[in-house]
Amino acid sequence: MVDGAPARSEAAEEGIFSRRHRTATASFAAVMFLTGFAALAVIPILPTAARDLDGVSLFPLVAGCFVAASLLGGVLSGHWADRSGARGPLAAGLALTVVTLVVSATSTSIWQLAGGRFLDGLAAGMVAVAINTAIGQTYPERLRPRVLALMSACWIVPSLAGPPVAGLVSEWWSWRLVFFGLAALTLVPALVLVGVLRGDSWHRRAEPPDGAASRPPLLLASLVSLGAALGQYGVSGWDARHLLFAAGGACLLVLFAPRLLPRGTWRAVRGLPATVLLHGLAAGTYFTIEAFVPLMLITERGVTGVGIGLAFTGAAVTWAAASWVQGRLLEDQPRHRLVAVGALVMVVAVALAVLGTFPAVPALTAASAMPVAAVGMGLLAPSLTVLSLAHSPLGRQGYASSAMQTNQNLGQVTVMALSSGVLTAGLGIGVAELVGYRAAFGLLFVPTLLIVLLAGRARRVGATTSTAVAGQLGARSPADGEVGVGTAEA
């Protein structure tokens, strides 16, 4: 006992930058910084690129490709990481990031740009899931909140510098130069990181429990991705053609999305299913606020681009700050309570967005909804990631991470589509624009309050056994009559 005391004390004091973890921590931070800079620098130049390629009418398709492909990339990465460790999908995602930037830079048509954005989404999904899986495989549970807080902080500088620098380069020279420059900046660090990730710890292989499939359900993931893309395009208009696309996308999502998620996700079954559901609700709410608040402020309240930029910057900073708080000051608090608190903060953000639609209220009231919502996400998003890893049995962290990524995208598509439908329906019956936005924002009270009510179902009670969680993961026998995680055919 005495001999073991120093070892236990040393383990208790071990941090994310200790000798054991410093290489992994630095590698993860570099990856997140690079991908964050590439992602945020591209956003402001896409409309210009679409205009120059005579493809403004297909811009919703360009945007939808990214979301749909990231869903597919997340599923592929999660299963790959479970089979052979996180190094493979992480290295492939980084390499693909460079390729997709070159594809986009050399676009001669809007379809090539859409293809580049599809590859970019595939790479982003692979990298995001590989990072979360690697965190679960590398760090003890008590250090994971700190690592996730650092990952959030790595987006601060890209969010401050990426959009304005890309905008200036696009205005003074060409949007193509932005893509080429990002490819050059990413290439060398990506090669260095792949070299760093050659250690044995990055090749961990754990046999999936209960005979889970060794191949990812690529056909299912492809169908769900197609459904997400069709849905994204369909909600961009309400003529017969768009409605047909939206209906087709909805059918694909309803039929096949549940088979990529833990069994009981949409019924909020305790454990991993409820955790995955809450992540989708939170992501859908936040990204709808991020999309609709700037649109309303610019088109209806006369707020300048500078004010919108400050709102985005404030959101990036407050998200990182809240994430740091949950990882340092609140690391001993039960994770499900932080999820509930974060959701309550998001309820306040939704209320601010609704108030901002009244002409008598200052327009910047709505702008403040973005940084306030980011505070809520900074508290609950890392907490949900920690819970998902805690609910995962050994060897299935990749699946849990891919399920979180999948439902994040599904939540984003679904909640935004519903809010878009409310807004468009209001305009169709002659409702004033601000009243339409008021109804669209009011709808967001539903998912945020659901998170508050259901947070306790994501609570981790004791040690999660591999057998119990394997059941939640959806491992089924062919006799069950459904294609589960364990029986899906590529």
Proportion of the chain in helix, strand, coil states, percent, rounded to 5: 80, 0, 20
136-162 mean pLDDT: 77
Q: Do 268 and 128 lie in a common domain?
A: no
Please determine, for residue 38, whether its predicted confidence score (pLDDT) is greater than 80.
no
pLDDT of residue 153: 77
Which residue, 157, 187, 216, sits at the end of a domain?
A: 216
pLDDT of residue 6: 46
43-52 mean pLDDT: 74
pLDDT-based confidence at residue 430 (cuts at 50, 70, 90)? very low
Q: Do 33 and 182 lie in a common domain?
A: yes
pLDDT-based confidence at residue 209 (cuts at 50, 70, 90)? very low
Q: Do 389 and 276 lie in a common domain?
A: yes
Q: Is residue 239 part of a domain?
A: no
Q: Do 303 and 432 lie in a common domain?
A: yes
Q: Do 67 and 174 lie in a common domain?
A: yes
Which residue, 183, 216, 249, sits at the end of a domain?
A: 216
pLDDT of residue 193: 64
pLDDT of residue 277: 95
Q: Do 310 and 397 lie in a common domain?
A: yes
The whole-angstrom separation of Cα 303 and Cα 370 is 14
CA-CA distances (angstroms) from residue 278 to 26, 296, 339, 379, 437? 30, 27, 9, 13, 24
| Max avg pLDDT among 115-124, 137-146, 272-281, 380-389 | 272-281
pLDDT tens, residue by residue, 341-369: 999 999 999 999 999 999 888 888 998 99
Instruction: Return the higher-pLDDT residue of 121 and 463.
Output: 121
The whole-angstrom separation of Cα 61 and Cα 234 is 9
Total residues belonging to the chain: 490
**Domain span holding position 439:** 263-477
Instruction: Return the higher-pLDDT residue of 59 and 4.
Output: 59
Q: Is residue 6 part of a domain?
A: no
Q: Do 195 and 278 lie in a common domain?
A: no
Which residue, 181, 216, 251, sits at the end of a domain?
A: 216
Q: Is residue 325 part of a domain?
A: yes
pLDDT-based confidence at residue 469 (cuts at 50, 70, 90)? very low
Q: Is residue 158 part of a domain?
A: yes
Total tally of structural domains belonging to the chain: 2
pLDDT of residue 479: 33
Q: Do 191 and 280 lie in a common domain?
A: no
Average pLDDT across the chain, whole number: 77
Q: Do 151 and 34 lie in a common domain?
A: yes
Please determine, for residue 383, whether its predicted confidence score (pLDDT) is greater than 70.
yes
- Asked whether the beta carbons of 398 and 77 are under 8 A apart, the reply is yes
Please determine, for residue 64, whether its predicted confidence score (pLDDT) is greater than 70.
no
Task: Supply the CATH number for residue 438's domain.
Answer: 1.20.1250.20
Q: Do 267 and 185 lie in a common domain?
A: no
Q: Is residue 249 part of a domain?
A: no
- Interacting residues of 232 by C-beta distance below 8 A, sequence separation 6+: 60, 61, 63, 64, 67, 68, 249, 413
Q: Is residue 234 part of a domain?
A: no
